[in-house]
Amino acid sequence: MASFITAGGKAAGPIGQGTWYLGETPAAFADERKALQAGIEAGMTLIDTAEMYGDGAAEELVGSAIHGFDREQLYLVSKVYPFNAGRRNIFRSCENSLRRMRTDYLDLYLLHWRGSVPFAETVECMEELKAKGRIRAWGVSNLDTRDMQQLLAVPGGAGCVTDQVLYHLGSRGIEFDLLPWLQQRDIPVMAYCPLAQAGRLRRGLFAHPAVQDIAFARNATPAQVLLAFLLARPGVMPIPRTGHAYHTMENAAAADLKLTAAELAALDAAFPAPKRKVPLDIQ
């Protein structure tokens, strides 16, 4: 199964760092910066962001956080708005992201979701950005199976290296057809919101007896159990987001938690995958 590898040859994973909603509150900036830096030091060298997040504020946070680190050991990912993903705007969008992130190139540039710009035009532009050295790879986000089939059918579409989608124990819709389809083609999945975003669903996951029992038995936290569930899936990289360094370290430690077949079966029974096609979750 394909994996994310930096240009320097160091594996960027198995867990990355998300930045959705980070960088938007000045009072929290220092703590969020420390959280990202703690993750880098713990081996979570892939950092995912987007021009949409805080209207560029998350990218600026990333640019501040990576200062002083060896750029070749990092794997920086950003995303372009769908309405900027054509020849008219994509090159300016990419340059703006690079400027905010204080870097000369992106390791990976993603189409944030499908819009009105034809896939063929976006792919052509992505390949031009690669040729210019502004990005090293490109991929997509929030594309379902039919979208992916159409993408790979256009010239150059097979250059897509990932599909980033929402995926966690309580939202397993991609397992019906999208995840197997991607796995068959060695296209990794970046799982955003792997701990669920917030609210009742997140509380229901963390407090569920099946999760709690495994966490207690393995001297782990519920968050680590949820991440370990995704890590047991081939070709899946969770990218949890946190603004606190102690949670970053908790997330990083999940890489060492290998769930048993019995534990995975218990989680599967508690939160079964759908047996029919369902729309992609996005929040």
Q: Which residues are catalytic?
A: 53
**Token pair 């990419």 is at which residue?**
94
Length of the chain: 283
If we measure between CA atoms, which residue out of 237, 215, 236 comes closest to residue 224?
Answer: 215
d(CA 197, CA 201): 8
Q: How far is CA 51 from CA 24, 94, 95, 122, 264, in A?
A: 13, 9, 11, 16, 36
> Nearest 10 degrees: CA dihedral of 149, 144, 46, 88?
70
Helices 209-217 and 261-270, axial angle in degrees (round to 10): 160
Contacts of 268 (CB under 8 A, 6+ apart): none
* First-residue to last-residue Cα distance in the chain: 27
